[in-house]
């Protein structure tokens, strides 16, 4: 059995007080409890503070380009659908640069776990607004405030019939851990958006701001009711729901591809004996 | 014997069906065949043609002179009548083209065959007018219908006996009509027997990928590369290949990299515009040392350009595009046979050196059908360079980007052993984690670039020399001009000492140790660089790599391929100036 020490990676270079620390700790605990050992899963990330996550634990890692984690994760899953693949990303990386991949990853329903560290701001490039920044937020580049409507990832995902849609808050670690585990254990594309205060650049959406608003979705809520889920997904402002907003049992892409029914692609051997017959097709 | 049949008409009229069927009849009957296509970027209407050259000896380029012009619309006649030989025949159905009076065309040999009516009269329905036309052309050539009937049986085997019978009757009706009504048809095909294979370069790339153990192909559809995806999708089940259509080219290359990282051979394909989107992924592949093969189909650009036409305008693009410095391999096959073997070489080098191998081609080469006696599958290499499962587990320690004497680190497969496989788009250390220090940076650049590059360079084959061994004139080209240059040498060698130098392995640029092609060029009186582009990209590359400057250039950039008569005329004009 693994111990927590087995997951220990490099020392994080995040700012003291960053919401990412809570996510990191929670994630390690969840993996330990699920019994998924470091060599058994792969983390894929792009660029941003969240994207450094795989370096701060021990696991197989593909840290690629800004916005491009999902297609890499998709390729890995299609090559080896027995290996859990988790994407660590941020609101800029996933909803901005990677928006197209986000939409189509959900549509494919590839069994990838997408953890979006959502701090509603760009940290790595020092304080520009992200797609989830609230309208009116004043930054160095937006002296008149952000004009664009805030992207609602929950509503977008429900609209796309995403297989698993949840929101967590880095300030509620116990609940966060149960949601991390639920996201990983769900069969299908899991979007887990984690509200995570940026203590350095986001002076609006602070721990205090979130604490006054977030609430745990009540146990009697039915996450399989899509219309109700959409209503809940639209909630933002005075009250912000956390928990599993929506889930369904759509078949996953990997299981729909006939040749992946028995063995993962990576363990299928190449049979050269058929080539002569294939050559004959050209006559 | 050297006949050219041109089938012209609007998109949607079935030109390609008739052309493909005839080409198959000829190749199965043992003839040497070369076909090429010219089409507009539309699904219906416009003017398109399919041209078939058939001979008793090897043919590999389109000719200007047409022996049989099959006109499915009036425009095909006005557009192409000037190409007819003296004995040339125009065949058409006046119910679809309207009456074509001799006085209007000035062409004596007009053959009006009621394709549609014959189809209906023989119970086949208007839809089989194309089968009537196919039979009629074989009748004009005095060829039997045996092979066509076999093909009809194969094609319609699933549709049932009635459909087969109707098509056979339709073909026979056209055949009989042509024999009875074409006294001016004077074609004498040679006797051939040994069936040949008929293959396009796009199919050859697809088959080459299959033969190389490619298990993953992802792409966004884009002419002229889509045929690779079509071919591989048809082989998914048989060979265990996952073919995924990506949301864009950025996703396509990143998915391929994910699959390759996870341990399977992966490939993507696109055209110039899509490759532009893939460039950041190319650089990611280089930094993470992830093997990938990319097929790049050139078409006239900038931007959307002439989407369905041909050009060699993207030679320098895959060679030089990058942010940062890294080695890569670029191949430019000139024939379906080269496309097949070079696709295999691309996979071998990509896997062996953990680099990106790019195969460039163009619309003309992609669609052109060639005939061969066969391909030698024993020449196909397959080595698994990956370290998997137990072998990886047995290693004391594992570092994905470990320094080695060759610069090539062990390529481990994640998830199959206790070792972790870690890689990063940031500069990284041996373990794959992000670094910032100068010393590691320099060692990693040295490893990726300076250690691997000389090894890759040694793998590249020299250009192919054809013709006179001490030539006065050397014509040089790369990629799709192979066939037309080779035939031009055959024709012109009667009057001059001429040779062709053809490059199909272009980056890293071939050394001169194995074959001193530079001396050959320097000793010639005239060297002409022939390219299907405006700027003479290969000539520039040659100068940059070797310092050698060609004495003349022939460039064509109208979106159409070189035609044999046109090219020989231009070379001859240069020769006369000597």
Q: How many CB pairs under 8 A join A and B?
A: 190
| CB-based contacts of B183, cutoff 8 Å, min separation 6 | none
For an interface test with A, which of B230, B278, B414, B419 has the most A Cβ atoms less than 10 Å from its Cβ? Answer: B414
**pLDDT greater than 90 at residue B106:** no
- Does A270 reach chain B within 8 Å, measured CB to CB? yes
Place of tokens 């002179």: B65
| CB-based contacts of A43, cutoff 8 Å, min separation 6 | A53, A54, A57, A59, A60, A61, A62, A85, A86, A87, A88
- Which residue from B133, B105, B169 is spatially nearest to B21, judged by alpha carbons? B133
For an interface test with A, which of B262, B287, B418 has the most A Cβ atoms less than 10 Å from its Cβ? Answer: B262
Show the beta-strand stretches assigned E in chain A: 42-45, 60-63, 85-90, 113-118, 164-169, 190-195, 214-216, 240-247
Q: Which of B241, B252, B433 sits opposite A55 (nearest CB)?
A: B433
- Asked if A101 lies within 8 A of B382 by C-beta distance, the reply is no
For residues B447 and B484, state if they share a domain: no
For residues B162 and B70, state if they share a domain: yes
Mean pLDDT, chain A, integer = 97
Tell me the chain B residues in contact with residue A271 when contact means C-beta distances shorter than 8 Å: 239
CB A198 within 8 A of CB A127: no
For residues B23 and B135, state if they share a domain: yes
ipTM above 0.95, yes or no: yes
Domain final residue pick, B323, B354, B379 = B379
Q: Each residue of B522-573: pLDDT tens digit?
A: 999 999 999 999 999 999 999 999 999 999 999 999 999 999 999 999 999 9
Contacting B residues, span 285-324, partner chain A, CB-CB under 8 Å: 288
Average pLDDT over residues B340-348: 98
For residues B116 and B134, state if they share a domain: yes
Widest Cα–Cα separation across chain A: 74
For residues B471 and B439, state if they share a domain: no
Distance CA A20, CA A22 (A): 5
Tell me the chain B residues in contact with residue A75 when contact means C-beta distances shorter than 8 Å: 216, 218, 254-262, 266
Average pLDDT over residues B354-371: 98
Distance CA A157, CA A212 (A): 25
**Cis peptide bond N-terminal to B476, omega within 30:** no
- Does A266 reach chain B within 8 Å, measured CB to CB? yes
Q: Is B391 exposed, middle or buried (0-12, 13-18, 19+ CB in 10 A)?
A: middle
Which of A205-214, A229-238, B123-132, B190-199 has the least mean pLDDT?
B123-132
Q: Is B554 exposed, middle or buried (0-12, 13-18, 19+ CB in 10 A)?
A: buried
Domain final residue pick, B181, B211, B234 = B181
- Asked if B420 lies within 8 A of A38 by C-beta distance, the reply is yes
Q: Which of A39, A65, A270 sits opposite B415 (nearest CB)?
A: A39
Tell me the chain A residues in contact with residue B241 when contact means C-beta distances shorter than 8 Å: 259
Tell me the chain A residues in contact with residue B262 when contact means C-beta distances shorter than 8 Å: 42, 75-76, 79-80, 83, 266
Per-residue pLDDT at B103:
76
Tell me the chain B residues in contact with residue A31 when contact means C-beta distances shorter than 8 Å: none
Find how far residue A39's CA is from the centre of its chain.
20
- Asked if B27 lies within 8 A of A283 by C-beta distance, the reply is yes
Measured between CA atoms, the residue of chain B closest to residue A10 is B433
Q: Each residue of B418-442: pLDDT tens digit?
A: 999 999 999 999 999 999 999 999 9
CB B162 within 8 A of CB B170: no
Per-residue pLDDT at A36:
97
For residues B231 and B128, state if they share a domain: no
pLDDT-based confidence at residue B5 (cuts at 50, 70, 90)? very high
Q: Each residue of A263-274: pLDDT tens digit?
A: 999 999 999 999
Per-residue pLDDT at B317:
98
- Asked if B197 lies within 8 A of A279 by C-beta distance, the reply is yes
CB B296 within 8 A of CB B270: yes
For residues B423 and B371, state if they share a domain: no
Q: What is the CATH number of the domain that holds A135?
A: 3.40.50.970
Q: Each residue of B313-322: pLDDT tens digit?
A: 999 999 999 8
Per-residue pLDDT at A207:
97
CB B366 within 8 A of CB B224: yes
Q: Each residue of B365-418: pLDDT tens digit?
A: 999 999 999 999 999 999 999 999 999 999 999 999 999 999 999 999 999 999
**pLDDT greater than 90 at residue B105:** no
For residues B232 and B260, state if they share a domain: yes
Per-residue pLDDT at B224:
96
| CB-based contacts of B558, cutoff 8 Å, min separation 6 | none
- Tell me, what DSSP letter sits at residue A196? -
| CB-based contacts of B510, cutoff 8 Å, min separation 6 | B460, B461, B462, B463, B503, B517
Q: Which of B197, B255, B256 sits opposite A282 (nearest CB)?
A: B197
Percent of chain B with pLDDT over 90: 93
CB A163 within 8 A of CB A254: no
CB A86 within 8 A of CB A51: no
- Asked if A65 lies within 8 A of B281 by C-beta distance, the reply is yes
Q: Each residue of B267-277: pLDDT tens digit?
A: 999 999 999 99
**pLDDT greater than 90 at residue B100:** no
- Which residue from B199, B182, B185, B212 is spatially nearest to B85, judged by alpha carbons? B185
Q: Is B280 exposed, middle or buried (0-12, 13-18, 19+ CB in 10 A)?
A: buried
B386: tokens are 């990956």
Distance CA B468, CA B491 (A): 13
Tell me the chain A residues in contact with residue B414 when contact means C-beta distances shorter than 8 Å: 39, 42, 60, 80, 83
Measured between CA atoms, the residue of chain A closest to residue B370 is A282
Q: Which of B211, B254, B424 sits opposite A275 (nearest CB)?
A: B211
Domain count for chain B: 4
For residues B409 and B368, state if they share a domain: no
Residue A99: give the domain boundaries. Answer: 4-280
Per-residue pLDDT at B123:
81
Distance CA A257, CA B242 (A): 8
Domain count for chain A: 1
Which of A253-267, B102-116, B208-222 has the least mean pLDDT?
B102-116
Distances in whole angstroms, Cα of residue B171 to Cα of each of A200, B137, B174, B293 = 79, 10, 5, 44
- Tell me, what DSSP letter sits at residue B313? T
Residue B194 lies in a domain: no
Per-residue pLDDT at B107:
77
Tell me what percent of chain B is helix, strand and coil, each rounded to the nearest 5: 40, 20, 35
Distance CA B186, CA B188 (A): 7
- Which residue from B173, B95, B69, B76 is spatially nearest to B131, judged by alpha carbons? B173
* Phi, psi dihedrals of residue A261, rounded to the nearest 5°: -60, -40
Q: What is the CATH number of the domain that holds B344?
A: 3.40.50.970
- Does B274 reach chain A within 8 Å, measured CB to CB? no
For residues B42 and B146, state if they share a domain: yes
Tell me the chain B residues in contact with residue A68 when contact means C-beta distances shorter than 8 Å: 250-251, 254, 280-281, 284
Percent of chain A with pLDDT over 70: 100
Distance CA B418, CA B455 (A): 31
Q: How far is B456 from chain A (nearest CA, A)?
A: 25
Tell me the chain A residues in contact with residue B254 when contact means C-beta distances shorter than 8 Å: 64-65, 68, 71-72, 75
**pLDDT greater than 90 at residue B359:** yes
Domain final residue pick, B181, B213, B239 = B181
B415: tokens are 């998830």
Average pLDDT over residues B316-331: 96
Distance CA A106, CA A89 (A): 15
- Asked if B255 lies within 8 A of A44 by C-beta distance, the reply is no
Tell me the chain B residues in contact with residue A60 when contact means C-beta distances shorter than 8 Å: 414-415, 420-422
Q: Which of B218, B247, B413 sits opposite A104 (nearest CB)?
A: B247
Q: Which of B27, B203, B263 sits opposite A266 (nearest CB)?
A: B263
- Asked if A40 lies within 8 A of B261 by C-beta distance, the reply is no
For residues B83 and B129, state if they share a domain: yes
**pLDDT greater than 80 at residue B521:** yes
- Tell me, what DSSP letter sits at residue A50? G
Per-residue pLDDT at B182:
92
Distance CA A207, CA A211 (A): 6
- Does A258 reach chain B within 8 Å, measured CB to CB? yes
| Element housing B478 (H / E) | strand B473-478
Q: Which of A71, A75, A270 sits opposite B213 (nearest CB)?
A: A270
Find how far residue B544's CA is from the centre of its chain.
27
Distance CA B334, CA B326 (A): 26
CB atoms near residue B518 (< 10 Å): 13
Residue B164 lies in a domain: yes
Distance CA B163, CA A12 (A): 71
Per-residue pLDDT at B43:
82
Residue B187 lies in a domain: no
For residues B16 and B46, state if they share a domain: yes
B564: tokens are 């044999």
CB A191 within 8 A of CB A157: yes
Q: Is B388 exposed, middle or buried (0-12, 13-18, 19+ CB in 10 A)?
A: middle
Q: What angle do CA A147, A149, A155 make, to 5 degrees?
A: 170
Per-residue pLDDT at A226:
98
Tell me the chain A residues in contact with residue B206 when contact means C-beta distances shorter than 8 Å: none
Average pLDDT over residues B298-321: 97
Q: What is the CATH number of the domain that holds B484?
A: 3.40.50.920
- Does A124 reach chain B within 8 Å, measured CB to CB? no
Measured between CA atoms, the residue of chain B closest to residue A44 is B258
**pLDDT greater than 90 at residue A88:** yes
**pLDDT greater than 80 at residue B508:** yes
Average pLDDT over residues A60-80: 98
Contacting B residues, span 368-427, partner chain A, CB-CB under 8 Å: 374-375, 377, 380, 382, 413-426
CB A61 within 8 A of CB B240: no
Residue B455: give the domain boundaries. Answer: 386-459
pLDDT-based confidence at residue B46 (cuts at 50, 70, 90)? confident
- Asked if A275 lies within 8 A of B210 by C-beta distance, the reply is yes
- Asked if B239 lies within 8 A of A271 by C-beta distance, the reply is yes
* Phi, psi dihedrals of residue B41, rounded to the nearest 5°: -85, 70
Q: How far is A62 from chain B (nearest CA, A)?
A: 5
Tell me the chain B residues in contact with residue A42 when contact means C-beta distances shorter than 8 Å: 262, 414-415
């Amino acid at each position: 059995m693994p111990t927590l020490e087995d997951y220990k990676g490099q020392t994080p270079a995040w700012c003291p007080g960053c919401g990412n620390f809570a996510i990191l700790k929670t994630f390690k605990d969840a993996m330990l409890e699920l019994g998924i050992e470091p060599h058994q899963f792969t983390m894929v990330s792009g660029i941003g503070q969240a994207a450094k996550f795989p370096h701060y634990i021990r696991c197989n890692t593909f840290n690629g380009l800004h916005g491009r984690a999902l297609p890499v994760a998709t390729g890995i899953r299609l090559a080896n659908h027995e290996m859990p693949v988790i994407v660590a990303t941020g609101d800029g990386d996933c909803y901005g640069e990677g928006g197209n991949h986000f939409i189509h990853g959900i549509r494919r329903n590839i069994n990838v776990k997408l953890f979006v560290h959502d701090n509603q701001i760009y940290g790595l490039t020092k304080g520009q607004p992200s797609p989830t920044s609230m309208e009116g937020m004043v930054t160095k580049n937006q002296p008149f405030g952000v004009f664009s409507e805030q992207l609602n990832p929950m509503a977008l995902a429900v609209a796309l019939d995403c297989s698993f849609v949840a929101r967590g808050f880095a300030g509620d670690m116990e609940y966060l851990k149960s949601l991390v585990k639920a996201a990983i254990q769900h069969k299908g594309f899991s979007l887990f958006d984690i509200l995570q205060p940026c203590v350095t650049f986001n002076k609006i959406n602070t721990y205090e701001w979130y604490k006054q608003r977030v609430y745990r979705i009540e146990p009697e809520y039915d996450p399989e009711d899509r219309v109700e889920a959409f209503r809940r997904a639209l909630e933002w402002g005075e009250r912000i729901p956390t928990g599993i907003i929506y889930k369904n049992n759509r078949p996953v892409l990997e299981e729909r591809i006939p040749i992946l029914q028995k063995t993962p692609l990576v363990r299928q051997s190449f049979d050269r004996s058929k080539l002569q017959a294939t050559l004959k097709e050209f006559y | 014997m050297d006949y050219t049949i041109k089938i012209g008409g609007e998109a949607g009229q079935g030109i390609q069906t008739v052309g493909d069927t005839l080409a198959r009849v000829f190749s199965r009957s043992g003839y040497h065949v070369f076909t090429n296509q010219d089409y507009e970027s539309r699904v219906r209407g416009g003017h398109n043609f399919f041209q078939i050259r058939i001979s008793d000896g090897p043919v590999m380029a389109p000719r200007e002179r047409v022996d049989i012009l099959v006109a499915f619309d009036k425009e095909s006649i006005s557009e192409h009548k000037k190409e007819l030989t003296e004995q040339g025949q125009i065949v058409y159905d006046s119910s679809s083209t309207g009456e074509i009076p001799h006085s209007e065309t000035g062409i004596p040999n007009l053959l009006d065959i009621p394709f549609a009516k014959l189809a209906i009269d023989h119970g086949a329905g208007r839809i089989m007018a194309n089968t009537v036309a196919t039979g009629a052309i074989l009748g004009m050539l005095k060829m039997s219908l045996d092979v066509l009937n076999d093909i009809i049986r194969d094609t319609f085997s699933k549709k049932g006996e009635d459909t087969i019978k109707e098509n056979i009757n339709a073909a026979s009706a056209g055949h009989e009509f042509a024999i009875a009504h074409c006294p001016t048809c004077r074609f004498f095909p040679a006797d051939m027997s040994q069936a040949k294979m008929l293959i396009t370069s796009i199919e050859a790339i697809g088959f080459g990928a299959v033969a190389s153990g490619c298990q993953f192909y992802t792409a966004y559809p884009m002419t002229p590369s889509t045929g690779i995806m079509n071919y591989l999708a048809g082989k998914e089940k048989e060979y265990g290949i996952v073919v995924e259509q990506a949301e864009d080219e950025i996703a396509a290359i990143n998915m391929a990299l994910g699959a390759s990282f996870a341990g399977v051979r992966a490939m993507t394909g696109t055209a110039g515009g899509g490759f532009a989107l893939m460039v950041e992924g190319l650089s990611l592949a280089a930094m993470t040392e992830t093997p990938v093969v990319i097929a790049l189909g050139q078409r006239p650009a900038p931007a959307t350009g002439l989407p369905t036409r041909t050009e060699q305008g993207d030679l320098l693009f895959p060679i030089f595009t990058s942010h940062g410095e890294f080695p890569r391999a670029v191949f430019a096959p000139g024939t379906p046979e080269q496309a097949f073997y070079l696709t295999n070489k691309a996979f071998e080098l990509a896997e062996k050196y953990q680099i990106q191998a790019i195969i460039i081609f163009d619309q003309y080469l992609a669609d052109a059908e060639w005939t061969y006696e066969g391909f030698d599958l024993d020449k196909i290499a397959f080595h698994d360079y990956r370290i998997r499962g137990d072998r990886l587990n047995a290693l004391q320690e594992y570092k994905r980007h470990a320094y080695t004497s060759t610069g090539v680190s062990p390529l481990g497969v994640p998830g199959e052993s206790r070792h972790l496989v870690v890689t990063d788009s940031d500069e990284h250390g041996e373990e794959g984690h992000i670094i910032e220090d100068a010393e590691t940076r320099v060692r990693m650049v040295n490893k990726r670039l300076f250690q691997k590059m000389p090894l890759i360079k040694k793998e590249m084959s020299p250009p192919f020399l054809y013709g006179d061994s001490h030539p006065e004139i050397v014509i040089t080209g790369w990629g799709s001009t192979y066939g037309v240059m080779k035939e031009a040498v055959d024709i012109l060698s009667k009057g001059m000492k001429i040779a062709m130098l053809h490059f199909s392995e272009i980056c890293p640029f071939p050394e001169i140790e194995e074959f001193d092609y530079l001396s050959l060029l320097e000793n010639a009186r005239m060297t002409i660089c022939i390219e299907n582009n405006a700027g003479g990209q290969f000539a520039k590359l040659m100068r940059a790599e070797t310092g050698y400057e060609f004495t003349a250039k022939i460039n064509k950039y109208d979106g159409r391929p070189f035609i044999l008569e046109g090219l020989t005329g231009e070379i001859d004009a240069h020769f006369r100036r000597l």
